């Protein structure tokens, strides 16, 4: 413990991780994240609320008076926690703790519309194949461990608990394998993106597949870093949409814990984008940021029947929705808006070099010819959570300073080795951000190219192609090679169908 | 693919012309009436400016320039160099003087003209002793049979679709070859494991890169004894016919077939001399190894299967260790000093199996491409001679 009973970050992190491992050890901890995170959130809510009551006591004199007043008028407090939902009541429960917890979170949701769809999504009493997913015994152990420290505002500042929450999410991601990518972008990638986007006062920031909300949160932190607590500065507004209910809940809790005002919507952005204007058109934002799942396969019908006119520059292939996401994000930009999106390396290279048509190359060509693309940044291998493949950050800016030019940054060697994943050091983040903002060319790291060069390379925007690193033949990551093949086979199927049709018309059977 | 073409001979009336039979409603005319060819313009390399307008030489696009000489659709015929090769460009271009470009199409369909020219063996009209060159004054008078415009459009449409199908299959072949490279890298870094398991595999650093911790390493001098081949027999034929059945291996695989052999058992052959030294080939039985190649005379260890060893040798890319003074070559000591890493036999089998599956796909797609190529050639010929008529064909609007 630090001074004044405040918790320092490493104590906080190891304590929370220890609690998480109480259920079934380190390996299985990620499976229980949907129970652990709400409990921590509940404790924080409860402790902060108790502190607020104590403060009000000083104004109103008596504890009972304050209890009665706040129970009648919730506007006196930031949020209201009913007595039986508070931590000290929960800690006293001897039997049926699962049910008690579920009742508690439901009562909190009832009393606080803002927290609806956030806290009460979890059912601590849930069973699977007749067995409790998390037993009362284990819940009691968890509650005991979490009871060790107070999580009030004096003990833990919002960004400290926010960091700890993100730390847990990262530990869960590290152990989750394939599913990690669904909810968590590596911390340094999110930080780098926040530096590149560099939010300005009053801007609205949107993430169409926000997962646990990491990208939005890092933008908020970057903003606070720039403007500290200057109250004259117009604050940012955050908007996110997430398809999985449990992840949606985490995004809302994560936002709340970081003291951010975020509007998070639940649903499928591709088919039913949540943020619309009164006339039903897509709402637009100054800044859009996202790390969608790479190479999703969506049927063509998703694009064909689009009521929001998002895919005018071309329908992506069924084997990869990457350029579908890019077009959705682009359509969500205001006239001078800018966006940064994390995708697989194939998104900027697939299809280039093919004679004849190729969907992704053709859409990419439109974006380049219309001069929307500002920069492409190549990330190192083994950075992201569900793959060893490197990724890229694509920056699109409707208010480009350098028209006709694209900045390519090859950051693939700027990594530090970690276990299980590599990471970007603070110096590396700063270096890349400086190169971007300064539009600099650095030997072996970055290069500025123009539209003619891009056209000659058949619209391949891969930084490794233009920024020489160490020669050697480039081999695609295995996942990328598979997507490439799927795409080639889809194009071929179409070509074959036309062939069959045309030959049939002149009487030839194949 | 088997083709049952229906010849329209019964419904089409043919007429006799100087160049043989052609459909009655076709025009018996000269090439110069179909298209006016013009020599391209000179553009020395030094004058070429940075741009994105393709510069067309006899073999197709040879560079880029900032100015165009014409816009729209270009059809080009190689004048010197790749004599008679026809190129199609949709958009702006600059044609060099090594090409003849189509200045006027005389109302004919340009895409049809492109296919039309491809069907004529223009190279036989080249004149000049030192550098055979095409001259438009020799080409224009060539007698040809020209279908009416609606049929031209139909022919162009059909052939474009076949060409597109060919291109699409080429793309599949290219993508599958990329997949094979990626798969090799994956298998030899993580072993025969799925993408999901790969991040959990503990790796170790070796002189040949990262491999799974549990793989062993061994120097090739402990794996096999190499030997150089012997000078090739006198009776080497290009293909395996009659008594000349036994493959003869040289610096880059099979160079021919002979009636004699000296090896009976399957073994691996490495190119020793020449540009492709270091290349790996498998001899599956009776064969002759020339002195431009090395072969495994004896295996000293059974830790690796022959197929697995073959892939390891491929991955080593022995060609980069060649001695460059004089003729490029690799020596036995160069090869035997190298180290390979290997898993236990069962995983070796799985690795080889996975690679073979991809190889099979490449082979079957390559066959498909050959068949599509044959289809294209047949259709081109039949459509351009009126053996298959498409005068009533509905061409969809572009």
Q: Give percent above pLDDT 90 in chain B.
A: 65
pLDDT at res. A412: 92
| Chain A residues whose beta carbon lies within 8 Å of the beta carbon of residue B196 | 177-178
The band of B396, judged by pLDDT with boundaries at 50, 70 and 90, is confident
**Which three-class secondary structure state does DSSP give residue A242?**
strand
CA distance B54 to chain A (A): 9
The band of A478, judged by pLDDT with boundaries at 50, 70 and 90, is very high
B3 vs A492: CB contact, 8 Å cut-off? Answer: no
Closest chain A residue to B382 measured between Cα atoms?
Answer: A506
pLDDT digit string, tens, across residues B179-234: 999 999 999 999 999 888 887 788 898 888 889 999 999 999 999 999 999 999 99
A510 vs B1: CB contact, 8 Å cut-off? Answer: yes
Separation between Cα atoms, residue A426 and residue A421, nearest integer Å? 16
Closest chain B residue to A176 measured between Cα atoms?
Answer: B196
- Closest partner residue to B171 among A388, A478, A488, by Cβ? A488
Asked if the C-beta of B195 comes within 8 angstroms of chain A's C-beta atoms, the answer is yes
| Structure tokens, B79 | 């004048």
Q: Which residue has the higher pLDDT, A469 or A224?
A: A224
B168 vs A356: CB contact, 8 Å cut-off? Answer: yes
Q: Interface pTM (ipTM) of the complex?
A: 0.86
CA distance B220 to chain A (A): 24
pLDDT at res. A179: 64
| Chain B residues whose beta carbon lies within 8 Å of the beta carbon of residue A420 | 199
Residue B397 reports pLDDT greater than 90: no
Q: Give percent above pLDDT 70 in chain A.
A: 95
pLDDT at res. B132: 85
The band of A365, judged by pLDDT with boundaries at 50, 70 and 90, is very high
**Strand (E) positions, A116-212?**
127-128, 131-132, 204-207
pLDDT digit string, tens, across residues B282-334: 999 999 999 999 999 999 999 999 999 999 999 999 998 988 788 899 999 99
Asked if the C-beta of B356 comes within 8 angstroms of chain A's C-beta atoms, the answer is no
Mean pLDDT of A149-157: 84
Asked if the C-beta of A27 comes within 8 angstroms of chain B's C-beta atoms, the answer is no
Q: Which A residues, 260 through 299, put their C-beta within 8 Å of a C-beta on chain B?
A: none
pLDDT at res. A279: 94
Average pLDDT, chain B: 90
Residue B7 reports pLDDT greater than 60: no
Of A25-39, A214-228, B141-155, B296-310, where does mean pLDDT reach its minimum? A25-39
pLDDT at res. A257: 78
Residue B2 reports pLDDT greater than 60: no
Residue A247 reports pLDDT greater than 60: yes
Closest chain B residue to A507 measured between Cα atoms?
Answer: B6
Separation between Cα atoms, residue A112 and residue A129, nearest integer Å? 33
pLDDT at res. B195: 85
Distances (CA, A) of B347 to B156, B191, B227, B361: 52, 7, 29, 22
Residue A155 reports pLDDT greater than 90: no
Residue A21: how many other CB atoms lie within 10 Å: 17
pLDDT at res. A180: 60
Residue B1 reports pLDDT greater than 60: no
pLDDT at res. B53: 86
Residue B24 reports pLDDT greater than 60: yes
Average pLDDT, chain A: 89
Asked if the C-beta of B233 comes within 8 angstroms of chain A's C-beta atoms, the answer is no
pLDDT digit string, tens, across residues A187-232: 899 999 999 999 999 999 999 999 989 999 999 999 999 998 788 8
Contacts of A138 (CB under 8 A, 6+ apart): A22, A23, A24
Mean pLDDT of B74-81: 88
Backbone angles phi, psi at A254, to 5 degrees: -60, -45
Q: Chain-centre distance of CA B372, in angstroms?
A: 14
Of A275-284, A417-426, B178-187, where does mean pLDDT reach its minimum? A417-426
SS (H, E, C) chain B: CCCCCCCCCCCCCEEEECCEEEECCCEEEEHHHHCEEEECCCCCHHHCCCCCEEEEECCEEEEEECCCCECCEEEEEECCCCCCCEEEEECCEEECCCEEEEEECCCCCHHHHHHHHHCCCHHHHCECCCCCECCHHHHCCCEEEECCHHHHHHHHHHHHHHHHHHHHHHHHHHHHHHHHHHHHHHHHHHCCCCCCCHHHCCEEEECCEEEECCCEEEEHHHCEEEEECCCCCCCCECCCECCECEEEEECCEEEEEECCCCECCCEEEEECECCCCCCEEEECCCEEECCCEEEEEEECCCCCCHHHHHHHHHHHCHHHHCECCCCCECCHHHHHCCEEEECCHHHHHHHHHHHHHHHHHHHHHHHHHHHHHHHHHHHHHHHHCCCCCCCCCCCCCC
pLDDT at res. A2: 39
Interface test with B, best of A353, A451, A498 (most B CBs within 10 A): A498
pLDDT at res. A471: 62
Mean pLDDT of B150-160: 94
Beta strand B253-258 with B246-250 is antiparallel
Residue B25 reports pLDDT greater than 60: yes
CA distance A439 to chain B (A): 22
Separation between Cα atoms, residue B373 and residue B165, nearest integer Å? 10
pLDDT digit string, tens, across residues A45-101: 999 899 889 988 888 888 888 888 888 888 888 889 999 999 999 999 989 999 999
Instruction: List the one residue out of B54, B62, B66, B64 whose CA is nearest residue B91.
Output: B54
Closest chain A residue to B158 measured between Cα atoms?
Answer: A502
- A vs B: CB pairs below 8 A: 110
Residues constituting chain B:
398
**Which three-class secondary structure state does DSSP give residue A470?**
coil
Of A452-466, B41-55, B177-191, B294-308, where does mean pLDDT reach its minimum? B41-55
A480 vs B182: CB contact, 8 Å cut-off? Answer: yes
Asked if the C-beta of A388 comes within 8 angstroms of chain B's C-beta atoms, the answer is yes
| Chain B residues whose beta carbon lies within 8 Å of the beta carbon of residue A452 | 50-52, 64
| Residue position matching structure tokens 């540009």 | B275
User: Sign of dihedral through CA atoms B293, B297, B300, B302?
Assistant: positive
Mean pLDDT of B342-361: 96
Asked if the C-beta of A422 comes within 8 angstroms of chain B's C-beta atoms, the answer is no
pLDDT digit string, tens, across residues B78-120: 988 888 899 998 888 999 999 999 989 999 999 999 999 999 9
Mean pLDDT of A278-298: 95
Residue A172 reports pLDDT greater than 90: no
Residue B205: how many other CB atoms lie within 10 Å: 8
A469 exposure class (CB count in 10 Å sphere: 0-12, 13-18, 19+): middle
- The distance between the two most distant Cα atoms of chain B, rounded to a whole number of Å, is 78
The band of A27, judged by pLDDT with boundaries at 50, 70 and 90, is low
Of A290-304, B79-93, B364-378, where does mean pLDDT reach its minimum? B79-93
pLDDT at res. B237: 92
pLDDT at res. B379: 94
């Amino acid at each position: 413990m630090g001074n004044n009973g405040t918790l320092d970050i490493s104590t906080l992190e190891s304590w929370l991780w220890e609690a998480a491992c109480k259920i079934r050890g380190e390996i299985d901890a990620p499976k229980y994240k949907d129970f652990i995170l709400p409990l921590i959130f509940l404790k924080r809510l409860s402790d902060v609320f108790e502190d607020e009551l104590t403060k009000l006591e000083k104004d109103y004199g008596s504890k009972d008076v304050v209890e009665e007043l706040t129970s009648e008028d919730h506007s006196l407090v930031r949020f209201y926690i009913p007595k039986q939902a508070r931590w000290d009541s929960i800690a006293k429960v001897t039997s049926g703790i699962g049910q008690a917890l579920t009742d508690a979170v439901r009562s909190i949701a009832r009393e606080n519309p803002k927290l609806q769809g956030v806290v009460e999504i979890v059912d601590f009493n849930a069973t699977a194949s007749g067995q409790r997913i998390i037993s009362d015994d284990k819940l009691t152990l968890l509650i005991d461990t979490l009871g060790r420290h107070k999580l009030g505002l004096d003990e833990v500042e919002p960004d400290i608990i926010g960091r700890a929450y993100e730390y847990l999410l990262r530990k869960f991601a590290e152990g989750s394998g394939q599913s990690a990518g669904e909810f968590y972008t590596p911390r340094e990638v999110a930080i780098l993106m926040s530096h590149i986007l560099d939010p300005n006062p009053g801007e609205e920031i949107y993430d169409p597949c926000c997962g646990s909300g990491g990208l939005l949160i890092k933008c908020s932190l970057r903003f606070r870093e720039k403007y500290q607590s200057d109250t004259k500065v117009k604050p940012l507004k955050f908007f996110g949409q997430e398809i999985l209910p449990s992840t949606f809940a985490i995004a809302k809790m994560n936002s709340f814990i970081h003291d951010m005002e975020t509007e998070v919507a639940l649903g499928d952005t591709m088919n039913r984008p949540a943020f619309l204007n009164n006339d039903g058109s897509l709402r637009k934002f100054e800044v859009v940021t996202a790390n969608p799942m790479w190479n999703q396969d969506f049927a063509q019908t998703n694009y064909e029947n689009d009521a929001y006119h998002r895919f005018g520059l071309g329908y992506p292939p069924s084997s990869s929705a990457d350029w579908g996401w890019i077009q959705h994000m682009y359509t969500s930009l205001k006239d001078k808006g800018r966006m940064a999106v994390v995708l697989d390396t194939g998104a900027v290279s697939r299809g280039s070099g093919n004679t004849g048509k190729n969907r992704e190359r053709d859409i990419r060509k439109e974006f380049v010819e219309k001069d929307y693309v500002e920069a492409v940044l190549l990330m190192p291998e083994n950075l992201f959570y569900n793959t060893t493949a490197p990724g890229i950050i694509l920056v699109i800016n409707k208010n480009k300073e350098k028209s006709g030019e694209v900045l390519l940054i090859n950051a693939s060697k700027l990594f530090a080795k970690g276990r299980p994943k590599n990471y970007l050091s603070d110096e590396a983040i700063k270096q890349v951000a400086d190169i971007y903002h300064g539009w600099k060319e650095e030997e072996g790291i970055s290069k500025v190219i123009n539209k003619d060069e891009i056209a000659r390379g058949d619209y391949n925007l891969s930084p490794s192609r233009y920024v020489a690193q160490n020669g050697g033949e480039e081999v695609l990551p295995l996942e990328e090679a598979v997507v490439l093949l799927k795409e080639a086979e889809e194009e071929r199927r179409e070509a074959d169908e036309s062939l069959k049709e045309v030959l049939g018309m002149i009487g030839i059977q194949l | 693919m088997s083709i049952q073409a229906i010849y329209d001979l019964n419904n089409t009336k043919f007429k006799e012309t100087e160049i043989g039979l052609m459909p009655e409603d076709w025009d018996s005319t000269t090439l110069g009436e179909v298209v006016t060819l013009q020599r391209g313009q000179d553009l020395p390399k030094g004058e070429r400016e940075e741009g994105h307008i393709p510069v067309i030489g006899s073999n197709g696009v040879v560079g880029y320039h900032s100015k165009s000489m014409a816009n729209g659709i270009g059809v080009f015929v190689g004048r010197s160099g790749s004599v008679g090769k026809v190129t199609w460009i949709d958009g702006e271009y600059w044609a060099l003087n090594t090409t003849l470009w189509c200045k006027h199409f005389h109302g004919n369909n340009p895409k049809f003209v492109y296919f039309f020219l491809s069907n004529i063996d223009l190279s036989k009209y080249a004149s000049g002793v030192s550098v055979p060159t095409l001259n438009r004054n020799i080409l224009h008078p060539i007698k040809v049979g020209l279908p009416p415009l609606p049929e031209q459009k139909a022919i162009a449409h059909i052939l474009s679709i076949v060409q597109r199908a060919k291109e699409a299959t080429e793309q599949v072949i290219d993508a599958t070859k990329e997949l094979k490279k990626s798969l090799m890298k994956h298998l030899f870094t993580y072993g025969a494991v799925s993408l999901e398991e790969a991040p959990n595999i503990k790796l170790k650093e070796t002189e040949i890169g990262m491999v799974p911790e549990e793989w062993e390493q061994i120097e090739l001098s402990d794996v096999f004894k190499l030997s150089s081949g012997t000078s090739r027999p006198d009776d080497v034929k290009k293909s395996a016919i009659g008594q000349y059945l036994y493959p003869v291996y040289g610096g880059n695989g099979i160079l021919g077939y002979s009636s004699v052999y000296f090896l009976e058992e399957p073994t691996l052959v490495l190119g020793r001399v020449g540009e492709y030294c270091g290349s790996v080939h498998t001899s599956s039985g009776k064969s002759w190894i020339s002195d431009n190649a090395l072969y495994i005379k004896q295996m000293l260890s059974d830790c690796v299967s022959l197929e697995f060893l073959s892939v390891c040798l491929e991955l080593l890319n022995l060609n980069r260790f060649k001695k460059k003074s004089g003729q490029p070559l690799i020596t036995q000591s160069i090869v035997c000093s190298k180290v390979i890493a290997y898993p236990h036999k069962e995983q070796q089998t799985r690795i080889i199996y996975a690679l073979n599956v991809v190889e099979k796909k490449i082979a079957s797609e390559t066959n498909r491409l050959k068949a599509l190529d044959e289809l294209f050639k047949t259709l081109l010929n039949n459509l351009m001679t009126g053996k298959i008529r498409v005068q009533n064909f509905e061409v969809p609007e572009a």
